[in-house]
Amino acid sequence: MEKYVSAKLHGIRVTDAKLNYHGSITIDADFFRAVDLKPLEYVDIWNKMSGARISTYVLYGEAGSKCCILNGAAARTCQKDDEIIIASSVFCEVDDIISLKPRVLVFGPGNAIIDRITYEVFRRPDGALDMAVNTGIADNDYGFPESLTSQQASALTK
């Protein structure tokens, strides 16, 4: 068993921080459902602005609200409008992550979804592991190497 990323919300903006709440992160339920994050699931949160890193559990917020609210002690790690990354993980065998195909939502201003990405791990014909990053945006500046494009990955698996 190894630890793998299982879902990610990338660049979502904090809409509020509630120190006197009992804890967790509250996010628009539609966002969590889109990447298959479950209520009370533990996630890691990385603040792109400050570098702060925490872990807490998920609370579903109102669907369609585009909210991202840090609660309790987590509220001390983020300011309103900070961009954060929320990632869940899973312990599994490599063949399980091949089947899982983790999903990522990428956010723009106003917590609008600007891209939907899938990480695809696969075996090359020689049995070696490889991966592809499948994105809906042709021109992006995510920093993914060209070797991870879906077209090249498709050629490798044939």
Question: Is 150 designated active site?
Answer: no
- Distance of alpha carbon 147 from alpha carbon 136, whole angstroms: 16
- How crowded is the C-beta side of 77, counted as CA atoms within 13 Å? 23
Q: Identify whether the C-beta of residue 73 lies closer than 8 Å to the C-beta of residue 52.
A: no
Choose the catalytic residue: 4, 21, 42, 57.
57
Residue 57: active-site member: yes
- What are the residue ranges of helices labelled H in the chain? 29-35, 94-100, 150-156
Phi, psi of 60 (to 5 degrees): -75, 130
- Cα pseudo-dihedral 84, 55, 38, 122, rounded to 10: 80
Phi, psi of 21 (to 5 degrees): -105, 160
Active-site annotation holder among 4, 6, 24, 88: 24
Return the active site residues.
Answer: 24, 57
